[in-house]
Structures are given as C-alpha cells and as structure tokens.
Structure 1
C-alpha cells in the first residue's frame, strides 16, 4: 500500500477570467499562506516528488520539499493554443460551434484537446506509478482531473465534474485492488 498526493499549484498571478495553460505564470501574493496550508496537510514522511516544469508548480514543489525533484513536461496544463491569455468572455464570442459540439476531442486552435491532455497525463502517471514509492505530484487542475478520472474509472465526458481547487490536495491510496480516493480538495 502506498500514498500518492496530487497537489494543485496555488493561486496564479493572473486576472480572473483569463484563459491560461502553457503560459508560465508566476504566483499571487498569497503564495506563502497557501503553500504553508498545503505543507500542514502532508504527512511527515519521505516522498518521491514530481512537478510540472511551469514555475507555478515548481515553486510550490521547492517550497514544500526543497530540491531535488523531477519535472515532467507531460504534467503541464492543457495547451490552449491561440486562446492563451485571452479572457473566457472573448473566447466565447469567437468560438465556433463545431468546437463546442465535441470539446473533449477537438483541439483548441493551435492547441490540444482535453483528450490529448488526458492521454499524456495518464501516461506520465502510469510511469510514475512504477516507482512504487509514496509520491507527490505538484501540477495543474486539468492534469489532476485527468489522473483522478483514470483512477476512479470516470468517463472523460464526466470528468469535468471533478472539482480541483488552487492550493489543494487530492490523496490517493494505491493497493492490490487499485486506487482509493482518501481525500479531495484537502
């Protein structure tokens, strides 16, 4: 039996309602307060640590565990392509109905689809599972949602119902039967 903690980065320094994914944003001024809260949730034991290379995740991983930790490009947030750093309101006005008809599998203009994010996130997670050690993954909401959908056998189209908040922790326990969600948004 082993534990895996999925940690979403703390609040980013971006105007509310802005679409960001691959953009390497810094963190809001609330970082230290939010990071200390996460630190108090984690048990005092050794972890193998993985993080998205984007600074909003790597800064949190460094705060929590120091160095070294591994980064993996597959743990980045979804690539919103042409929508990066636009407001959701502006995107809604210009989004073709054909994209909305199959938003899970249609890539965003010059970006990727949610299904592509799911595939690369799960591939990274399956590789991480091979370490067979207690693990922390500091990453993004879309990646955590994908991993939780995989672990709970939640259909891709239903996975948007999995709420993942900034600076919160999901706790998975891995045993012979599979995965058990011990906590979400801790």
Structure 2
C-alpha cells in the first residue's frame, strides 16, 4: 500500500504571522505550483483525503477533481488565541512557556503538538485499515507528525524534518509497518 502526503502550496499570508486553523487562501503562484505537482503525481487510483481548509481543498480538487474526502483531522495545529497574530505581538513569556514544552503545552484556547499528532495518527491508522492507496492533502504539522512516527523520530526532534510547500512525500505500508520512501519531492 502506498500513501502520498502532499503539503498545500504557498499560502496568501505575510511571513511572521501565526496561523494554523485559520482558513488562509492560496498565493498567486497557485497555478504554477499545481502544474509542478501534477508532473510529479504517480499514476494509479487513490482514495484522496484533504483538510477542509481552502489552501488544501483547492489543491486537492485541482489535482484530483471533486472526488475528494474532507476530514477535519487533517487540519493544521490549532494556535487558538494566537491565530492570525504576528509572532512578535505574542507575549515573550507566553511564547517561551510554550516553546519550552511545545509537544505537550497547549496554546491558549488551542491545542498541543501532541494533540495534532494524536488526531493525525488516528487518521493515518484509519487509512491503513482501509488498505487502499491514498493521497492526503494536508499541512506541514500533520505531515511532520506522520513522518516522525514513520521514522521513529521523537516529536521534540520532529521539526528537523523540513516539510516544504507544494511537495510530496511517499510512504509504503507493509504488514502495518510504515516506511518513508521519500519526502519533499
């Protein structure tokens, strides 16, 4: 069984702004990025799952048509009260408290990285049980957490796994074991 993880294309937002659950649109480079991704897509039939946020849903439908399954568990991390705030506007003490234990610490009115990991793994486990080749069009945090699981990377070290916009990662599942074939292609 093959699973492809595709990160959404470049979002239409200024750098330095905290966003996750916010429904950000795609940048003007969308069509160019879609064309590049289409050239890399594997042939075959896939169950296609997408985050409901437009930066993913637009990409999923551009690549695979309207026959996609939307799943809330594929959303990016919920940054709660920090959503759409410039990082520099968030209190330094508050940011430091979170940064000191970002795996377990919940963002005010949001979730922890472990929460994101738990829902991401529930989703991937469900896909594996179905047994069909699949594509997940999702966000960097979700992809990073799945790659961390597949590579036995502790979540605290998972940000070493760089996940770029508009890139594909491939997993192979055999007898329940997940192996990374490539990432960021």
TM-score bin (small chain): over 0.9
Q: Secondary structure at the match of 1:181?
A: strand
Please state whether the residue corresponding to 2:124 is helix, strand or coil.
Answer: helix
Rounded Cα–Cα distance in structure 2 between residues aligned with 1:91 and 1:38: 35
Corresponding residue number in structure 1 for 2:132: 133
TM-score under structure 1 normalisation?
0.95
**Per-residue CA shift, 1:7-30, capped at 9, x if unaligned?**
000000000111100100100000
Structure 2 equivalent of residue 144 of structure 1 = 143
- Consecutive unaligned residues in structure 1, runs of 5 or more: none
Question: 1:99, CA displacement in angstroms?
Answer: 2.7
Change (3 A) 1:94 1:177: closer
Q: CA deviation at 1:71?
A: 0.8
- Separation (CA, whole Å) in 2 of partners of 1:177 and 1:134: 14
Residues 101-130 of structure 1 deviation map (CA, whole Å, 9 limit, x = unaligned) = 212111001100011111111111111111
Q: Note the aligned Cα RMSD (angstroms).
A: 1.3
User: What are the ranges of 5 or more consecutive residues in structure 2 without an aligned counterpart?
Assistant: none
Equivalent residues in 2 for 1:80-99 (5 A)?
80-91=79-90, 93=92, 95=94, 97-99=96-98
- Residue 20 of structure 2 aligns with which residue? 21
CA distance in 1, matches of 2:173, 2:95: 41
Q: Distance in 2 between matches of 1:185 and 1:100?
A: 25
Match of 1:77 in 2: 76
CA contact (8 A) 2:50 2:70 kept: yes
Conserved? CA contact 2:170–2:182, under 8 Å: yes
